[in-house]
Every structure is written in structure tokens, then in C-alpha cells.
């Protein structure tokens, strides 16, 4: 039985969240991820939507998380840091490659000169 | 005009309520994120409420296990066997299942005490909802004696079911344990489905009591024959492509043979090694025949009534519609059961493959 499979395709919001996790590296916890996703999406995003997506990505094995020590500036609560897993990286690469393919195809289609059909 | 929500709540109270209502997985860090974003005085009730709803929905999605819920539905239905399948019973089952699904999202380790607690909470909410229905819309409430006996049996049965089959998602399991648990869970659901099917077969004879007065013929056609067909289908399934295979020779030891035996016992309907091949044609026909035999006693009185042979007074309409609904539910569940069996068989096959690979290396 073969187990080699293409990674499950990512939705647009999942791509944004994964990109934010990659961009923030060691600082990837809830608040900066939320800010980065809002910045990438160019619209306000709810904190909960980011966390729901991170949960889903964790279930898929694309990210993992760990809790840091509680701090007083967060009301005595911990930060949950998120880390990209190899499967997540593969999925993100696949999404990027697909975007490139789509972009190339559209660029080619749109740049083609319009030719009138010859009358028969 | 765009409006911004007003900061209306004393933040300490909101934080305390949020801490209590958020699912455990979110409780450790999300309030801290909100605190960091809004500051100590910047809490907004609509935002917090939305966050809690999102947290609950996300956790329900993560903890929802269709096998567990389907099993609970069957267990509860059997517990309320005294009541016909009617709107009040559907409401009771829906309320109980909703509470249990929510409890799954909030509770942690799945200990026996927690399972009992879940059942008690569900029973309490069901009683409260029934009290409300009895006050507001009495036709939506179950009779008190049915409710009491059903809740008593249901409390015990749901507790036992949850102790035995509740998935604990927080403790990652090794693939081997997972496949065995999948096998056990799948068989538990198979057995429940069979029990429900058996109950339907037995109660179907009541539906055709007037159409077919001779009880021996009735029992032969509508009880014995469906059971025999089902047994044949199961036997066909066992002797089919997933049945005994040459690799089951004691080449790889007892463990491998045991895994193969379990895989073959499941109702997977075809070889799991080769993708999603459908079951043999004979097996599918036998299954279709079984369902046809299950439906026949429900359609006989209907046909008799339409053709004018059976007077309306001789048809037990409540039983007929109840059984028809149960038949439809069982038919739909059968699709899920086939899928579930196939999935468990595949998990076992993966374990066999891993064992083969490890033995080769």
C-alpha cells in the first residue's frame, strides 16, 4: 500500500496563517500572527478566526504548538507559540507552486493578442 | 455609518466568565492574547462572545466523533424503547446528544467519573427541557413514566458507552493501538446496528398483523428470511476477496495473522489493499435483498390500503411510520457503517504493512 500522497490543499486563509507563522519564526504566537494575517489580508481579521485555523492546521499536522510560561503583561496567561512542521511546509510550497502555475497561465492567456475569426 | 462596539463590561468579570466558558484548550492562552490586544479595560462583550462561540465550535469539530455519537443515539433510542419514534422522542434525543457533544468539547480525560457526570448533565438538561415543554407546549413532552424509565436506563447505558468508546484526542496514540480501537469501536457500532435491525425485524411483524394473520408464515417471511439473508451476506463478505489469503500462513507469526483475521472480520466489502474497490456483485445483491425484505412488511399494508384491500382502521399507522423512519435511518446508517468498517480494515491493513516492512528490514 502506498503512503506517499500530495499534501492536502490549503484554503486561502490557511495559506495566510501559515505564511504568518513562517514569517514570524520564533515570535509566532497568537497576537503577532493575528496582526500579520490582518496585514497580509489587508482587512481586519478576528482573533478567533486565526486560532480556529491554527487548530485545524494542527489537526492536519501542519503546525505544532507549545505553551510558554505565564507573564503578568498578559494577565498571568501563557503564550502559545506555533511552529511550522515539514508537512505544513510541503503544503505551503504546493500552494505556492499552484499559485505560480495559475499566474503563469493567466498571464499567458491575457497577454495573447486577440485575433478576429476569419470569415469562411 | 460604521459603529464600533462600546466597552461596556467591567473587564475582570468578563475575563472571569470568558475563562469559564472557553474550552480548556483555548483557556490557557486565548484570554492572554485578548488581554494583550485590548488591554485591561478594553474588553468588548460582542467580541468575547464571538470568541467563545468560535472556540466552542472549533473544539466541537475537533472532538466530534460520529461513531461515538451514532452509538449514543442508538443506545438512547433503545433506552426509550417504550416510546414510539415521535417528535417528543426526537427532541429528547436531540437535546441529550447536543449536551453530550458539548460535554465532549469541554471535558478532558474521559474517565469513568467524567462519563457518568456527562450522562447526569445530559439527563438534567433533558429533564429541564421536558419541564419547559410540558409547560409551554405539552404535545412536545414525553409521558412522565416513559421519560423516567428511559432516562434511568439511558443514564446507565450512555455512561457505559462513553466509558468504553469515548475517544481521547489529547493523548496521541500509536498507530497500532489506534487500529485496534477502531476495530473495537467499529464492531460495537456494527452490533448496535444489528440490534436495532433485529428490533425493526421483530416489530415489523406487528405492522403486517392484519395483512397476514397466520403468525407462522409471518414469522418465517419477515423474521427468519431477513436474518438468514443477513447471515449469508456476512458469510459472503467473509469468504470474499478479504477472506483467508495465502499470506495468512504462519510466515509472519501470530500477531500478523491476528491482525489479518480482524481485518477480514470487518464488513469492508472488498480488498482494502487495492484502493476503494467495491464489494462483489453477489454481496451487493444480497445486501439489497436484505433491505428489500426489511422494507417489504412496511409496504404491504400501504399497498393493501391503497388498493382498498386493507381498511385504514386495520393498519397501525403510528407503528408503520415509526418503523419506516427507523428503516430509513438504518439504511442511511448502513452507508456509514460500510465506510467505517472499510476505514478500520484499512487501518489494520496499514498496520500489517508496517509489520511486513519491519520484518523485511
Q: Where are the domains of chain A?
A: 12-110
| In contact, A95 and A10? CB cutoff 8 Å | yes
DSSP A26: G
Would you call A56 and B34 a contact, using CB atoms and an 8 Å cutoff? no
Is B318 part of any domain? yes
Question: A18 to chain B, minimum CA–CA distance in Å?
Answer: 18
Residues A4 and B128: their CA atoms lie apart, in Å, by 52
Asked if B54 and B78 sit in the same domain, the reply is no
Asked if B205 and B329 sit in the same domain, the reply is yes
**B131-159 per-residue burial string, b: 16 or more CB within 10 A, e: under 16:** eebeeeeeebbbeeebbebbbebbbebbb
Residues A76 and A69: their CA atoms lie apart, in Å, by 9
Counting the structural domains of chain B, the total is 3
Report how far apart the first and last C-alpha atoms of chain A are (Å, whole number).
56
Looking at residue A51, its pLDDT comes to 92
CATH tag, A12-110 = 1.10.10.10
CA A119 to chain centre: 50
Is B91 part of any domain? yes
What is the residue range of B50's domain? 11-63
Question: A37 to chain B, minimum CA–CA distance in Å?
Answer: 14
Residues B201 and A108: their CA atoms lie apart, in Å, by 64
Domain boundary (B125, B151, B167) is at B167
Would you call B58 and A67 a contact, using CB atoms and an 8 Å cutoff? no
Give every CB contact of residue A104 below 8 A, 6+ residues apart in sequence: none
Does the CB of B26 have a partner CB in chain A at under 8 Å? yes
Asked if B203 and B142 sit in the same domain, the reply is no
Asked if B190 and B207 sit in the same domain, the reply is yes
Asked if B142 and B204 sit in the same domain, the reply is no
Per residue of chain B (361 residues), what is the pLDDT tens digit? Answer: 344 444 444 466 777 777 778 888 888 888 888 877 776 566 567 777 888 888 888 888 888 888 788 888 888 888 877 566 678 888 888 999 999 888 888 876 667 777 788 888 888 898 898 889 888 888 888 888 788 878 888 888 888 888 777 655 444 444 455 677 788 888 888 888 888 888 888 887 777 776 666 677 777 778 888 888 888 887 777 644 444 444 444 444 566 777 777 887 888 766 655 544 455 677 788 888 888 888 888 888 888 888 877 777 777 787 788 888 888 888 888 888 888 888 888 888 887 777 776 656 5
Looking at residue A22, its pLDDT comes to 92
Q: Best interface-test mutation with B: which of A29, A47, A49 has the largest number of B CBs within 10 A? A: A47
Q: Which helix (H) or strand (E) holds B58?
A: helix B45-63
Asked if B99 and B54 sit in the same domain, the reply is no
Sign of CA dihedral B152, B158, B164, B170: negative
Count of CB pairs separated by less than 8 Å, A with B: 77
Looking at residue B306, its pLDDT comes to 83
Amino acid at each position: 500500500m502506498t503512503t506517499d500522497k500530495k499534501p492536502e490543499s490549503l484554503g486561502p486563509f490557511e495559506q495566510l496563517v501559515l505564511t504568518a507563522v513562517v514569517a514570524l519564526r520564533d515570535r509566532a504566537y497568537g497576537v503577532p500572527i493575528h496582526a500579520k494575517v490582518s496585514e497580509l489580508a489587508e482587512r481586519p481579521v478576528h482573533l478567533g478566526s486565526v486560532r480556529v485555523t491554527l487548530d485545524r492546521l494542527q489537526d492536519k499536522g501542519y503546525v505544532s504548538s507549545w505553551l510558554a510560561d505565564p507573564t503578568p503583561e498578559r494577565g498571568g496567561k501563557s503564550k502559545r507559540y506555533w511552529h511550522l512542521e515539514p508537512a505544513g511546509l510541503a503544503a505551503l510550497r504546493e500552494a505556492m507552486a499552484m499559485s505560480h502555475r495559475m499566474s503563469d497561465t493567466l498571464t499567458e492567456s491575457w497577454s495573447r493578442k486577440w485575433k478576429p475569426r476569419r470569415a469562411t | 455609518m460604521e459603529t464600533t462596539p462600546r466597552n461596556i463590561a467591567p473587564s475582570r468579570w468578563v475575563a472571569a466568565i470568558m475563562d469559564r466558558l472557553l474550552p480548556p484548550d483555548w483557556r490557557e492562552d486565548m484570554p492572554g492574547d485578548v488581554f494583550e490586544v485590548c488591554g485591561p479595560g478594553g474588553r468588548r462583550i460582542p467580541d468575547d462572545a464571538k470568541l467563545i462561540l468560535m472556540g466552542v465550535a472549533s473544539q466541537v469539530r475537533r472532538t466530534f466523533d460520529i461513531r461515538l455519537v451514532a452509538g449514543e443515539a442508538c443506545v438512547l433510542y433503545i433506552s426509550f424503547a417504550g416510546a414510539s419514534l415521535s417528535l417528543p422522542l426526537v427532541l429528547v434525543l436531540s437535546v441529550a446528544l447536543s449536551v453530550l457533544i458539548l460535554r465532549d468539547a469541554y471535558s478532558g480525560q474521559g474517565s469513568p467519573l467524567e462519563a457518568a457526570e456527562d450522562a447526569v448533565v445530559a439527563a438534567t438538561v433533558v429533564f429541564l427541557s421536558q419541564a419547559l415543554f410540558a409547560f409551554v407546549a405539552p404535545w412536545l413532552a414525553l409521558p412522565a413514566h416513559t421519560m423516567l424509565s428511559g432516562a434511568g436506563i439511558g443514564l446507565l447505558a450512555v455512561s457505559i458507552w462513553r466509558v468504553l468508546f469515548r475517544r481521547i484526542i489529547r493523548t496521541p496514540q500509536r498507530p497500532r493501538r489506534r487500529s485496534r480501537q477502531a476495530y473495537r469501536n467499529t464492531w460495537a457500532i456494527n452490533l448496535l446496528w444489528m440490534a436495532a435491525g433485529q428490533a425493526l425485524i421483530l416489530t415489523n411483524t406487528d405492522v403486517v398483523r392484519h395483512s397476514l394473520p397466520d403468525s407462522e408464515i409471518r414469522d418465517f417471511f419477515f423474521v427468519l428470511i431477513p436474518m438468514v439473508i443477513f447471515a449469508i451476506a456476512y458469510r459472503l463478505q467473509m469468504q470474499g476477496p478479504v477472506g483467508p489469503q495465502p499470506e495468512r500462513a504462519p510466515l509472519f507469526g501470530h500477531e500478523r495473522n491476528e491482525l489479518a483475521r480482524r481485518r477480514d472480520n470487518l464488513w469492508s466489502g472488498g480488498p482494502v489493499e487495492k484502493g476503494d474497490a467495491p464489494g462483489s456483485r453477489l454481496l451487493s445483491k444480497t445486501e439489497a435483498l436484505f433491505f428489500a425484505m426489511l422494507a417489504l412488511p412496511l409496504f404491504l399494508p400501504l399497498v393493501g390500503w391503497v388498493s382498498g384491500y386493507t381498511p385504514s382502521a386495520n393498519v397501525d399507522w403510528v407503528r408503520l411510520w415509526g418503523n419506516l423512519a427507523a428503516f430509513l435511518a438504518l439504511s442511511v446508517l448502513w452507508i456509514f457503517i460500510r465506510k467505517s468498517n472499510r476505514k478500520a480494515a484499512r487501518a489494520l491493513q496499514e498496520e500489517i504493512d508496517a509489520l511486513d516492512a519491519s520484518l523485511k528490514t
